[in-house]
Structure 1
């Protein structure tokens, strides 16, 4: 009986809104900036500095009075592409540092605010107690998506670091190519998560979760 009452109180607290720790809010918004910057560099390279732009670079240089071959135009485009990828690498290092920060921050949170204890309590409420199942279901889905997102971040960090230090890892080129492809695939999955996350926030703001964005900025109220 005491367990049921305790769980119901915690589920009720979820309805009223949670107090977000400053470390999590810091990580959340800085992570958003870093991921956005990283995706922007990918977008710039895919749109401006791919091979299809070599003829454009060549024509512009010729119009400026320079005598340029296709190979030289390609070298210019490739050099600009490398500059953008260098910035992408810096975003990657920042993302790796933030991921490490998030792991460490989890251990300093109160037990009731940690990811896996909250997931466990929602599971217990939904499958064992069968009380407030709608709220518990929402928690299970939300926390399950967060776990998937963290796993994707881990993959992005590990594969990104392997690519950044490929000259020192001794990994064969064909495997590095596969790592690069997998790294890019995970980027699209993260984009999908961001779309789902923003859609969920938008719907929550229009329904019973109004104020969730401001709570993530100022911490909210218990």
Structure 2
């Protein structure tokens, strides 16, 4: 009984903790903007400046009166692609700075709002107390997904910085190519998380969790 009482209190705290700290809200929305911008640069390069667009560039320049061969058209396309990747790199720097900010801010959050604290409470509630299991299971899954997201974000930041500073790292070309491939793979995983996150918010808003979006804007009620 001495163990169950504190655990019951913890379950109650899971229900009450709905207020989001200003630092968490700031990070959430700025991180969303930065990630959206970063993904947009990838989309632009994938659609507008891939190899299939070289013919288009060549034809358009020739229609404008220029004499252009395939090599020159490829150089123009590659130059435009590099410009977009330059913007992508700046978004990457911003993402790295935001990740560091989030990591530092985590230490200053109230104990009840820390991710690992919430994950630990949900774990104990589900596996030890074995009551309120549906709510504890939901909390455990959601916070577990957030933890995976942060690990993916860390991987994106580290691999992105390695690619941005490849001229200084002396990493072998074959390994650098593998890092680039893994960086791109993690991007797809993060996209998957974003889709799950948006779907979860949409379903919650339609069911019993109304006000999630507004809570993330104004902080929510401290219940």
Count of matched residue pairs:
222
Tell me the residue number matched to 1:181. 181
Tell me the residue number matched to 1:78. 78
Structure 1: gaps spanning 5 or more residues = none
* Cα offset, 1:16, TM superposition: 5.1
Tell me the residue number matched to 2:198. 198
The answer (yes or no) to whether the contact 2:205–2:212 under 8 Å persists in 1 is: yes
Tell me the residue number matched to 1:64. 64
Structure-1-length-normalised TM-score? 0.97
SS at match of 1:190: helix
* Cα offset, 1:131, TM superposition: 1.4
Q: RMSD of the TM alignment (CA)?
A: 1.2
* Cα offset, 1:15, TM superposition: 3.5
Tell me the residue number matched to 1:35. 35
The answer (yes or no) to whether the contact 2:119–2:140 under 8 Å persists in 1 is: yes
The answer (yes or no) to whether the contact 1:8–1:132 under 8 Å persists in 2 is: no
SS at match of 1:67: coil
SS at match of 1:33: helix
Once the two structures are superposed, residues 104-148 of structure 1 have per-residue CA deviations (whole angstroms, 9 ceiling, x without a partner) of 000001112111111111111111011111110011000100010
Tell me the residue number matched to 1:163. 163
Tell me the residue number matched to 1:215. 215
The answer (yes or no) to whether the contact 1:204–1:210 under 8 Å persists in 2 is: yes
Structure 2: gaps spanning 5 or more residues = none
* Cα offset, 1:10, TM superposition: 3.8
The answer (yes or no) to whether the contact 2:19–2:219 under 8 Å persists in 1 is: yes
SS at match of 1:66: coil
Matches within 5 A, 1:74-113: 74-113=74-113
Tell me the residue number matched to 1:145. 145
Structure-2-length-normalised TM-score? 0.96
- Segment of structure 1 superposing worse, 77-86 or 8-17: 8-17
Distance 1:214 1:4 in 2: 34
Once the two structures are superposed, residues 48-78 of structure 1 have per-residue CA deviations (whole angstroms, 9 ceiling, x without a partner) of 0011000000000000110001000000000
The answer (yes or no) to whether the contact 1:41–1:88 under 8 Å persists in 2 is: yes
The answer (yes or no) to whether the contact 1:125–1:133 under 8 Å persists in 2 is: yes
